[in-house]
Structure 1
Amino acid sequence: MTAPRTTRLAALLALPVTLALSGAATAPAVAAERTFQINLNQLNDSGGKGTAMLSLNGNQLTVKIESEGLVPGQPHAQHLHGSTDGHDFHCPDASDDMDGDGILNNTEATHRYGDINISLTTQGGTTPDSGLAVDRMPMADAAGKLSYERTLPVSQDVVDHIKDLHIVQHGIDPNGNKKYDFEGAGKSELDPKLPQEATAPADCGIVEGAAVGSLPVGGVETGGGTADSNEIPTALAGACGLAVVAAAGTLVLRRRIRAAAAAAEPTGRGAA
């Protein structure tokens, strides 16, 4: 009778540990959202500045921008510039004014910040073809402040190379009359129907790095390298926790089995 009873007891006590280990093995992996900050700094002495946040959730990119010092009441073309093939681009400076006319135009700046990857329009298309769709670009308010937020699907190349992209906002007012005109800087080299003031870059910013708890490009999430964060991904932490619980449960189980077996053994008193 002793052996079957001990076996049944062991099976009952082992059930919680088995369930815990099963849960650890089948727990679904949860992809963490990655968030990056961009600090926008002025170009062309525009006075423009601001902060942008890029948040990636799978292939959905949410862009939030808060900027100020822009031409009031005017639309400001804005884009994600850069490369998704590993080319390293940066924001330009005054030394990139090739013709020395005092205005850093878009063509002069492009060799520094790269071509348009995504047009940050308020609605409709976001391809480079919408780069000059000023009717769909956000407009600064009467105080020169601009708020923007949009979530859009992006390619896997953008997901993998998000740290190689950066934001540029366009639109300057060198003659200070609070509007775009041809008197300030002449015609745009991109489209002669537009004034240069409307297309010249006003500010630019590169990705500063990942927020706490996110994974870098090329890290664990993309299959190579290691994470540069001390944070443990949620799914991994949950599995580790279950493993610890299971190990503790196994130790308690062994102790209980020994105690049950000892209680079931004859003490030897009263034997013939």
Structure 2
Amino acid sequence: MKKKFVGALAAASLACLWAGSANAQGAKTVTYVAHLHPLNSKVVGSKTTGEARFTIKGDKLTISLNVKGAPPGMMHLQHFHGFKDNHQATCATAAADTNHDGVIDLIETEPMSGTTMVPFQGDPVNMKIATDTYPKASASGSYHYKKTVSLKALQAAFNKTFGDA
């Protein structure tokens, strides 16, 4: 069964995206692009921007991120969010700050963006969120990430973690 990945990329609370699975048997290349914009820029003091690309060709999914303006010298946890029941995720807005502390926290994004799903770290297929293999921004605040994984293996890991809904 093919599962739609509907989610929000949370690279330092950057932006939302939609990515869908494609027929892994064909050689056709399908690319999804998300333009990244800051969510908590007033708090971190930077205007992070970037682009995420998800390219599917056959059984291979290549995840590419190019980010600039991120807080320098720190690791950036990035992943997408979504819902197990496949309903569409949306980006959190300032209204999501339910504790009124001026920061849209990860937990506050869940009602509209869903739960953390696939991590963009050293091994996305292992589905581990807590790891030290996420990209680290350079002194200039930029970072690049690129991983190619088996779509079939990612699908199996996703289904094992979230169920075969």
Alignment of 1:25-174 (within 5 A): 30-45=26-41, 46=44, 47-83=47-83, 85-123=85-123, 126-127=126-127, 130-133=128-131, 135-155=132-152
Tell me if the contact between 2:125 and 2:153 (Cα under 8 Å) persists in the aligned partners.
no
Letter in 1 for 2:40: N
1:225-272 superposed Cα distances (whole Å, 9 cap, x missing partner): xxxxxxxxxxxxxxxxxxxxxxxxxxxxxxxxxxxxxxxxxxxxxxxx
User: Residues 30 and 124 (structure 1 numbering): CA distance in 2 closer, same or farther, change over 3 Å?
Assistant: closer
Letter in 1 for 2:139: A
TM-score (norm 2): 0.69
1:137-179 superposed Cα distances (whole Å, 9 cap, x missing partner): 1100000101010011234996xxxxxxxxxxxxxxxxxxxxx
TM-score (norm 1): 0.43
Q: Structure 1: which 5+ runs fail to align?
A: 1-28, 159-272
Tell me if the contact between 1:120 and 1:126 (Cα under 8 Å) persists in the aligned partners.
no
User: Residues 126 and 49 (structure 1 numbering): CA distance in 2 closer, same or farther, change over 3 Å?
Assistant: farther
User: Residues 156 and 75 (structure 1 numbering): CA distance in 2 closer, same or farther, change over 3 Å?
Assistant: closer
User: Residues 58 and 84 (structure 1 numbering): CA distance in 2 closer, same or farther, change over 3 Å?
Assistant: farther
Letter in 2 for 1:57: K
Tell me if the contact between 1:63 and 1:149 (Cα under 8 Å) persists in the aligned partners.
yes
Letter in 2 for 1:140: A
SS at match of 2:37: strand
User: Residues 30 and 104 (structure 1 numbering): CA distance in 2 closer, same or farther, change over 3 Å?
Assistant: closer
Tell me if the contact between 2:125 and 2:154 (Cα under 8 Å) persists in the aligned partners.
no
User: Residues 157 and 111 (structure 1 numbering): CA distance in 2 closer, same or farther, change over 3 Å?
Assistant: farther
* Structure with the largest fraction of helix: 1
Tell me if the contact between 1:83 and 1:89 (Cα under 8 Å) persists in the aligned partners.
yes
User: Residues 48 and 108 (structure 1 numbering): CA distance in 2 closer, same or farther, change over 3 Å?
Assistant: same
SS at match of 2:55: strand
SS at match of 2:31: strand
SS at match of 1:139: coil
> Structure 1: how far apart are the matches of 2:121 and 2:62?
13
Which consecutive aligned stretches of 4+ in structure 1 deviate over 4 angstroms post-superposition?
Answer: 155-158
Q: % of aligned pairs identical?
A: 27
> Structure 2: how far apart are the matches of 1:123 and 1:156?
11
Letter in 2 for 1:36: Y
Q: Structure 2: which 5+ runs fail to align?
A: 1-24, 156-165
Tell me if the contact between 1:64 and 1:150 (Cα under 8 Å) persists in the aligned partners.
yes
Alignment of 1:204-215 (within 5 A): none
1:162-217 superposed Cα distances (whole Å, 9 cap, x missing partner): xxxxxxxxxxxxxxxxxxxxxxxxxxxxxxxxxxxxxxxxxxxxxxxxxxxxxxxx
User: Residues 155 and 92 (structure 1 numbering): CA distance in 2 closer, same or farther, change over 3 Å?
Assistant: farther
SS at match of 2:108: helix
Structure number with larger C-alpha Rg? 1
Tell me if the contact between 1:48 and 1:69 (Cα under 8 Å) persists in the aligned partners.
yes
User: Residues 66 and 157 (structure 1 numbering): CA distance in 2 closer, same or farther, change over 3 Å?
Assistant: closer
